[in-house]
Amino acid sequence: WEKDSIDNQFDLQDGCPFSSFDFTKDKKNSKQVIRITDINNQNSNEEKVYLPNSNIKDLDISKYEVHSGDLLLSLTGAAGFNFFIWNTDSSYINQRTMKISPKKQDNEALKFLLEPLIHSKINSIGTGQNNNLSKDTLKEIELPFPKPKEQLKLSSFITNLNDLIAAQSQKLDLLKVHKKGLMQNLFPQEGETVPMKRFKEFEKDGEWVEKTLIDTTDKKVKWSFTGGPFGSNLMASDYTAEGIRIIQLQNIGDGEFMDNYKIYTSLEKADELLSCNIYSGEIILSKMGDPVGRACIIPENIKRCVMASDGIRLVVDEKKHSKNFIYSLINSKRIREAIEKKATGSTRKRIGLDELRGIKLMLPKTLDEQQKIAECLFSLDEFITAQAEKIEQLKLHKKGLMQGLFPKIND
């Protein structure tokens, strides 16, 4: 392969330093502004910002426009820089992001090859506390490029693999949409006392009954509905390299436990904070964030942990209620909207412990019906989990192939 500079092969376009006052969260009659977080998350993150079409007319920003198929790069990355081939409608790049276009049309395949060629190299040359990459630094980098015929073969191979991953990801999204629709049918809607769809054996069981969230907790368990210390009881000296896991707000995903953030404290400190301890299989809710009130279940492999975020421990009375049913109900559209209405704050919503206690739920009269609904939804969750694992395996497979198909930095 022949070495050449990035500058000779690609046109590099920095993002626009938009004012945050230009942004809206309403996607109607607007176009997305692509930020670092959108590139890092391959645009799958829920929080996005947009430019109203009326504002676009008044701004000279045509050079910042990107279309489906354009190659984008984040220019700030504490954990490394990320590439992403834009896959949706025309949008605009924000500051600290970049659009990269092959200079020659015959070399269009190069955009699929730039990431595996350069990724490890640029991650070693960022500067400053935030690990910034400059346009000028990027221009001067020399890389070995394959000849056009090999470029096409490699890009075709990578594109097919990417298409396979995208198809499997779409299947995952459809499963999630299916579950959401199922939940709307299996739980009563606002103002209703029975669900639209009901298992045949429970059709004559009459109306569901109204309870509050606190009514579902196990009164025999101390601190069965309580919040964390929000960090006020933890100092830098309390953090340890290993020990009892500390659950942060970032760990409370929207219907799933996020295992990426791992910090620990000592057993002694966990014993001191007993009111904030949570155990495997218990439900934890967020009092803060977007969306507020999201819930997850502590995985079985975490036997004991300490809540140091804006989290709420919820221990269900399993003699009267199905824990998995209550968990699914909390994640239903009706309850999420009820929590959202009681939350306060404009940029980041927050809800108090007392407000959460009083959230009203509609529950089947019998434990059997609760369990039947929970089994249905959790069996679908197993399909979703298996599909997510399949996608992760494909990504690992791709990563291994990339290491074999491209030269190392000094080769």
Q: And the tokens for 99?
A: 């659009």
Does this model's pTM top 0.85? My answer is: no
18: closest CA among 124, 68, 92? 92
Q: Are 88 and 38 in contact (CB under 8 A)?
A: no
Handedness of CA 46, 49, 53, 59 (dihedral sign): negative
* Whole-number pLDDT of residue 411: 63
Give the whole-angstrom CA distance, residue 106 versus residue 148: 8
Burial class for 189, CB neighbours closer than 10 Å (0-12, 13-18, 19+): middle
Query: Three-state SS for 264?
Result: strand
Regions in the chain scoring below 50 on pLDDT: none
Give the whole-angstrom CA distance, residue 170 versus residue 87: 13
Which alpha helices (H) appear in 6-134, and where do they start and end? 6-9, 36-40, 53-56, 110-122
Give the whole-angstrom CA distance, residue 239 versus residue 266: 7
Convert the pLDDT of each residue in 206-263 to its tens digit. Answer: 999 999 999 999 999 999 998 876 555 677 788 898 999 999 888 898 888 988 788 8
First CA to last CA distance, the chain: 10
Q: Which amino acid is at 243?
A: G
* Whole-number pLDDT of residue 47: 84
CA atoms within 13 A on the CB side of 324: 14
Q: Are 202 and 369 in contact (CB under 8 A)?
A: yes
208: closest CA among 94, 105, 362, 102? 362
What is the rounded radius of gyration, in angstroms, for the C-alpha atoms of the chain? Answer: 25
Give the whole-angstrom CA distance, residue 255 versus residue 335: 13
Residue with tokens 């003699």: 319
* Whole-number pLDDT of residue 230: 55
For residue 208, the 8-state DSSP code is -
Kind of pairing between the strands at 91-93 and 30-34: parallel
Convert the pLDDT of each residue in 126-159 to its tens digit. Answer: 787 778 899 999 999 999 999 989 999 999 999 8
Give the whole-angstrom CA distance, residue 115 versus residue 398: 13
35: closest CA among 55, 6, 7, 64? 64
Q: Are 305 and 297 in contact (CB under 8 A)?
A: no
Q: Are 364 and 320 in contact (CB under 8 A)?
A: no
| Cβ neighbours of 202 (radius 10 Å) | 18
- 210 beta partners: 362
| Cβ neighbours of 114 (radius 10 Å) | 19
334: closest CA among 206, 191, 205? 191
Give the whole-angstrom CA distance, residue 291 versus residue 297: 17
- What DSSP assignment string belongs to 74-102? ESB-TT---EEE--SS-EEEBTTEEEEEE
* Whole-number pLDDT of residue 248: 86
Q: What are phi and psi of 369, to 5 degrees?
A: -70, -40
Query: Three-state SS for 272?
Result: helix
Query: Three-state SS for 169?
Result: helix
Q: And the tokens for 218?
A: 């196990």
Residue with tokens 């015929």: 149
Residue with tokens 């984040």: 74
